[in-house]
Protein backbone atom coordinates (compact mmCIF):
# COMPACT_ATOMS: atom_id res chain seq x y z
CA UNK A 1 0.00 0.00 0.00
CA UNK A 2 2.72 2.45 0.96
CA UNK A 3 4.64 1.40 -2.12
CA UNK A 4 1.68 2.26 -4.31
CA UNK A 5 1.42 5.71 -2.75
CA UNK A 6 5.17 6.28 -3.02
CA UNK A 7 5.27 5.16 -6.62
CA UNK A 8 2.38 7.43 -7.48
CA UNK A 9 4.04 10.40 -5.87
CA UNK A 10 7.38 9.70 -7.56
CA UNK A 11 5.78 9.35 -10.97
CA UNK A 12 3.58 12.42 -10.45
CA UNK A 13 6.59 14.44 -9.34
CA UNK A 14 8.76 13.20 -12.20
CA UNK A 15 6.27 14.04 -14.93
CA UNK A 16 5.96 17.56 -16.17
CA UNK A 17 2.18 17.76 -16.22
CA UNK A 18 -0.68 17.69 -13.82
CA UNK A 19 -1.06 14.14 -12.43
CA UNK A 20 -3.49 14.04 -9.50
CA UNK A 21 -3.09 11.01 -7.30
CA UNK A 22 -6.07 8.74 -6.91
CA UNK A 23 -7.52 8.58 -3.40
CA UNK A 24 -6.61 5.53 -1.33
CA UNK A 25 -9.02 2.72 -1.98
CA UNK A 26 -10.07 0.48 0.90
CA UNK A 27 -9.63 -2.54 -1.36
CA UNK A 28 -5.92 -1.78 -1.66
CA UNK A 29 -5.57 -1.69 2.12
CA UNK A 30 -7.33 -5.05 2.44
CA UNK A 31 -5.17 -6.59 -0.27
CA UNK A 32 -2.03 -5.28 1.41
CA UNK A 33 -3.03 -6.74 4.78
CA UNK A 34 -3.99 -10.16 3.45
CA UNK A 35 -0.56 -11.72 2.62
CA UNK A 36 0.98 -11.21 6.10
CA UNK A 37 -2.18 -12.54 7.74
CA UNK A 38 -1.91 -15.89 5.93
CA UNK A 39 1.37 -17.05 7.53
CA UNK A 40 0.25 -15.61 10.87
CA UNK A 41 -2.98 -17.61 10.75
CA UNK A 42 -1.25 -20.75 9.49
CA UNK A 43 1.47 -20.50 12.13
CA UNK A 44 -1.11 -20.10 14.87
CA UNK A 45 -3.00 -23.15 13.61
CA UNK A 46 0.23 -25.17 13.53
CA UNK A 47 1.07 -24.13 17.06
CA UNK A 48 4.24 -22.22 16.20
CA UNK A 49 5.63 -19.84 18.82
CA UNK A 50 4.25 -16.30 18.61
CA UNK A 51 7.69 -14.78 17.95
CA UNK A 52 8.23 -17.03 14.92
CA UNK A 53 4.79 -16.21 13.56
CA UNK A 54 5.28 -12.47 14.03
CA UNK A 55 8.67 -12.52 12.28
CA UNK A 56 7.26 -14.56 9.40
CA UNK A 57 4.35 -12.13 9.00
CA UNK A 58 6.77 -9.19 9.08
CA UNK A 59 9.01 -10.72 6.40
CA UNK A 60 5.98 -11.34 4.19
CA UNK A 61 4.78 -7.77 4.78
CA UNK A 62 8.15 -6.29 3.80
CA UNK A 63 8.38 -8.46 0.69
CA UNK A 64 4.80 -7.51 -0.19
CA UNK A 65 5.58 -3.82 0.23
CA UNK A 66 8.52 -4.07 -2.13
CA UNK A 67 6.44 -6.02 -4.65
CA UNK A 68 3.57 -3.51 -4.46
CA UNK A 69 6.03 -0.68 -5.05
CA UNK A 70 7.54 -2.35 -8.10
CA UNK A 71 4.18 -3.24 -9.64
CA UNK A 72 2.65 0.20 -8.98
CA UNK A 73 5.68 2.03 -10.35
CA UNK A 74 5.84 -0.15 -13.44
CA UNK A 75 2.09 0.22 -14.06
CA UNK A 76 2.46 3.98 -13.78
CA UNK A 77 4.81 3.82 -16.75
CA UNK A 78 7.97 4.80 -14.91
CA UNK A 79 11.37 3.95 -16.29
CA UNK A 80 13.48 1.09 -15.03
CA UNK A 81 15.61 3.31 -12.80
CA UNK A 82 12.53 4.70 -11.03
CA UNK A 83 11.18 1.16 -10.54
CA UNK A 84 14.50 0.09 -9.00
CA UNK A 85 14.58 3.22 -6.84
CA UNK A 86 11.06 2.56 -5.62
CA UNK A 87 11.96 -1.04 -4.73
CA UNK A 88 15.11 0.07 -2.89
CA UNK A 89 13.32 2.78 -0.92
CA UNK A 90 10.61 0.35 0.15
CA UNK A 91 13.18 -2.30 1.07
CA UNK A 92 15.10 0.20 3.22
CA UNK A 93 11.86 1.29 4.92
CA UNK A 94 10.92 -2.34 5.55
CA UNK A 95 14.35 -3.15 6.93
CA UNK A 96 14.11 -0.10 9.19
CA UNK A 97 10.89 -1.55 10.61
CA UNK A 98 12.65 -4.89 11.12
CA UNK A 99 15.49 -3.07 12.88
CA UNK A 100 13.13 -1.24 15.20
CA UNK A 101 11.35 -4.51 16.00
CA UNK A 102 14.70 -6.11 16.79
CA UNK A 103 15.69 -3.24 19.08
CA UNK A 104 12.37 -3.30 20.90
CA UNK A 105 12.51 -7.05 21.48
CA UNK A 106 16.11 -7.20 22.70
Q: Is residue 37 part of a domain?
A: yes
Q: What's the chain's average pLDDT?
A: 81
Is 102:94 a contact under the CB 8 Å cutoff? no
Q: What pTM value is reported for the model?
A: 0.69
Report the alpha-carbon distance of residue 62 to residue 32 in Å, rounded: 11
Q: Is residue 22 part of a domain?
A: no
Domain count for the chain: 1
Q: Could you read off the pLDDT of 40-67 as tens digits, one per residue?
A: 899 989 999 988 998 899 999 999 989 9
pLDDT score for 18: 52
Task: Give the range of the structural domain holding residue 98, as residue numbers without chain letter.
Answer: 2-13+27-105
CB-based contacts of 90: which residues, under 8 Å, 6+ apart? 2, 3, 6, 65, 66, 68, 69
CB-based contacts of 66: which residues, under 8 Å, 6+ apart? 3, 87, 90, 91, 94
Amino acid sequence: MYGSLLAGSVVAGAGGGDHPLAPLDLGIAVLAAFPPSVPAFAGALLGWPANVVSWLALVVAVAGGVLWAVVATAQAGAGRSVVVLSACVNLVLGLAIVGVKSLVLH
